[in-house]
Amino acid sequence: MNTFLILSITVVVMMGIIVFLDRKYQLLRDSSSAFDKPYSLSRVQLAWWTIIIFSASATILFKYGMFPTFDQSTLILLGISSATAAAAKIVDVSDQTNVNLIRHQDTGKQGFFLDILSDENGASIHRLQTVLFNLILGAWFIVQVLHNISIVGIDVNKIIPVVEGNNLIFLGISTATYVTLKSSENKSPPQTDVLLDVPKDDGSTKPQVQP
């Protein structure tokens, strides 16, 4: 069977499973008190790389009958995504324990892309950077897999590409920036001083003399 077709079918099946789990168990949603919870950037990123790496591995397995051994860079790639999701969850739990905090996630879903790109002030540049780099790196990863798997006699363990260290560092910095700024997205409402209207004594009230 054509390699591209195998990879495409695997990606579609994986995406279908994740969409089903999201519809049924809100797999990709943020921690929120809203009925229709917004999508979480960190969970979407983890799902994105899970789909790509699993689909590439499954394609190699179907074609060669062998499951590839992951390169260290692939493990780091998954580790960054997993650590980002875990850190974002810790931030959410911390925010939810503060009863005075107004969380923008509790306003509900606005739409997939707007959810993952938005903080409390709307679409943000640091989230856009994270999304774009993950999309570009993921597309490059898939193209490299298709190129490598077409090479006659290639070692199965060499088909999944090695992600260069600087690219991993950039991804780590991008996701670390996202998590750091996420921790300060939700702010407590400003404290307002309540002024009591105390009537002034203008001298018009005369003291009563007791008999």
Is 134 a domain residue?
Answer: yes
Question: What's the CA gap between 140 and 129, in Å, rounded?
Answer: 16
Q: Among 95, 53, 96, 92, which residue's Cα sits nearest to residue 76? A: 53
Is 193 a domain residue?
Answer: no
Is 48 a domain residue?
Answer: yes
Residue 195 pLDDT: 46
Mind listing the pLDDT tens digit for each residue in 180-190? 988 877 765 55
Please report which confidence band the pLDDT of residue 67 belongs to, taking 50, 70 and 90 as the band edges: very high
Cβ–Cβ contacts within 10 Å for residue 32, how many?
A: 20
Is 211 a domain residue?
Answer: no
- Domains identified in the chain, total number: 1
Is 171 a domain residue?
Answer: yes
> Do 119 and 132 contact (CB within 8 A), yes or no?
no
Residue 96 pLDDT: 80
Q: Which domain holds residue 55?
A: 3-182
Is 201 a domain residue?
Answer: no
For the cut 60, the answer to whether the pLDDT of residue 65 exceeds it is yes
Is 205 a domain residue?
Answer: no
Higher-confidence residue: 208 or 127?
127
Q: Among 17, 135, 13, 10, which residue's Cα sits nearest to residue 60? A: 10
Mind listing the pLDDT tens digit for each residue in 132-171? 999 999 999 999 999 999 998 899 999 999 999 999 999 9
Question: What's the CA gap between 109 and 34, in Å, rounded?
Answer: 8
Is 133 a domain residue?
Answer: yes
Question: What's the CA gap between 50 and 53, in Å, rounded?
Answer: 5
For the cut 70, the answer to whether the pLDDT of residue 110 exceeds it is yes
Q: What is the CA radius of gyration of the chain?
A: 26
